[in-house]
Structure 1
Amino acid sequence: MKSFHESTSTALVFMLAFSLLKLGSGQWQVTGPDNSIKAFVGEDVVFSCSLSPKTNAEAMEVRFFRNRFSAIVHLYKAGKDEESVQMPEYQKRTELLKDGIVDGIVSLKLKKVTFPDAGRYGCWFDSKTHQEEATWQLEVSGQWQVTGPHNSIKAFVGEDVVFSCSLSPKTNAEAMEVRFFRNRFSAIVHLYKAGKDEESVQMPEYQKRTELLKDGIVDGIVSLKLKKVTPSDAGIYGCSFDSKTHQEEATWQLEVSEMPSQNNSWYAALVVPAVVLLVLGIIVGYCLWKRNFFSKCCMNRMQVHLVSLSMSLLKVITFKNTKVSHGSQGEVVLGL
């Protein structure tokens, strides 16, 4: 009777011989996506499968299926695609990528993913002498949303202002149509389409005044710079992103004010006389303290400063009756 050690050794030798026989006969294994594949509604997704070790799959039957083997998403057989056997919901929506098929690498592109597409998928290779398959999960999420400025944007006349919009979650917007509009969708402030700016469709009052900042466009971040803001620019603005399968927009308010420096003259007109009065008080106090020097010289100084104070007070009175008008260069013009 054989010992346990001898039996174990025999089993190991048998398994090794079987493995060598399997490799010698050209056996291979199928590898699919390692993890669940995540996609958004409207996107295209690619399922990639390969043979290990590398094996030419041109003469094999390659099947991509959904949930069960008989539910055909795409079938490649006898060197060609068999579109007639596809499930109706996948017809005209799949493309088999065969560039690496001689090395056993085949990928399936599924176009314009929908919520019902979510579920379990698999790929199956059959060489008539051997067959293997691999499976994975497709998870489909809702589409992106557009986020614009959260609050009203405030700007002064003559300043540049930037409107920033983004997609959440991050989504490449390079191939999308991005539109900034005023009040209504058709009132175009700036349009980005087919990868370039379409300046010819802008409203006349915005031509040569806008610049689209696209440094973050691959992450869905786009900003519009509006140059030299005018009072007539105030109002509602919006940005729209359109991927052809999905469209979203966001709106906000632009508030335009006059430059604050135009009101500073009131402050100066009140402060200057106060300073003059303070200086005069110091001089008077000094003269009284030095009574021995309270002479004609001191009186003359007092008269000079009294005249100066009177002139300052007169300016305050007349300033209240002035009419403020703005020149073409932004100056404040005072007129009685």
Structure 2
Amino acid sequence: MVDLPGYRLSGAVASFIFVLFTMKPSDDFRVSGPAHPILARVGEDALLTCQLLPKRTAMHMEVRWYRSEPGTPVFAYRDGSEVTELQMEEYRGRIEWIEDNIAEGSVALKMYNIQPSDSGQYWCRFHEGNYYGETSLLLKVAGLGSAPNIHMEGPVGTEVQLVCTAKGWFPEPQVYWKDITGEELLTVSEHHIQDEDGLFYVEATLVIRNASLETVSCFIHNHILNEEKGSVISIPEKLQTELASLKVIGPFQPILVRVGEDIQLTCSLSPKANAQSMEVRWVRSHRYPAVYVYMDGDYVDGEQMAEYRGRTALVSDAIHEGRLTLQIHNARTSDDGQYRCLFEKDGVYQEASLDLKIVGLGSSPLITMEGLKDGETQLMCTSEGWFPQPHVRWRDMEGKTIPSFSEVLTQGSHGLFRVETFLLVTNSSLVNVTCSISNPLLGEEKIATFSVSEFKMTFSWKMLLLLGLLLAGAAGLIRRKSCKKVNVTLDPNIGHPELILSEGNKHVTHGHSRSQTSHRDLMASSTSRARKGSCQGGGTERWRLGTGRDGSQVLPKTIL
């Protein structure tokens, strides 16, 4: 086995990688591929082929198909078997190796269920020993999506708005409008979205201001396949439908919802009408993908935006009156903004706009103080959890605004704001200050008050207490170091004992004659000194008795 960073690879794979860095182009053979791009439709299969020239057997060679990096192949063949350890994940289970003509140096790779991500350049490489030859080929993927749907918004005055939509196209298609004479009409706006599968959704808007224009067509064109799909709408016919005379009513005021609470978006038809057979969708800026789609009496999963999946529910108990409510659970800051509610039937729709305001009331402010040079003081006020961007103010005792020194706003991963605002205090007469942070939509604020004088007084008392503790500790340490050590020794060369008192580094020797000081007196004197000394709390004293020249017992040394 061979170790590479983060992987443990087999000997075959290690050998495979080694060869990649030791190969050189061959002069004996070359590789040929298709002269033209290979065209494959989405969902179908594709066959990639390449050929050794001059023709020769490739049974003993290594063959590798790759895209950008040889080390991560689409497919690799070596020693009569596949090398699967390094294969790109997206191709596992989708590749078939065809070696029917390998004796003539011709090989093929069959790729199943072609996807948009398969589009692009591929390389076919043969190598023998330390030599290789390779060629490139281009795979073009194309997909014809749905036929366009033309939706007409109920007339507003003399204007009619048409929206052409289609999905499932690849690559990005072309969209255009034509009138009945074949003349191309000017598109007002065009929108393209690539979904999770890599396919394109298109939405093109046309505004008709000419009342005499009766028939309009929308075409979606795939330039790779040179194919298109079209739809026609008859405006007078659509103006006779049920929804052309109805209106959709939404809330007149913005909807305020706190972060974490549930959102309710209610729309209703006016005058009242049964909406059970209608398509109803809540969208953001475009019809697809949607926040929620109700169609044919049920929820449509495939058209919902990923961020709303599992968070929505429809309240339809009043649908026979044309009133529906969409509930969105656990409001997020990303939910903030404009929504549109669309009712549609027979290609005609009516809509209403809803303004959703997500609000977050953050934490109570916290004020901290930092001393600076030259007697200046800096206050910092912090708070988090606000949305939208809050208003921050410093005020004095009289409620007057004090300009802040600086202000920093940061937005976290959940979109909530954290604020840090700084105030430089240079005026010694400034006693109390307040930091207020308010939500401009809720009209609510949170306030913290800071007393500079009280902080300084508290700080002074704390410093005095700390200084007292330090002094007491220092005094105790000095006392221990200066404690007296009492030593009584008997000099063997003289006939009388000596009492040696040790005081720090200073030694004082007291000599006594045998006739003047008895052994008992020495013991009593030494014991008394030990009891009165400053080290009596340091431990138990031990005494060791010796014998003098005359055979009497003496105290030769004090062991502390």
TM-score (norm 2): 0.24
Identify the structure with the greater strand proportion: 2
Identify the structure with the greater helix proportion: 1
Higher relative contact order (CA 8 A, sep 6+): 1
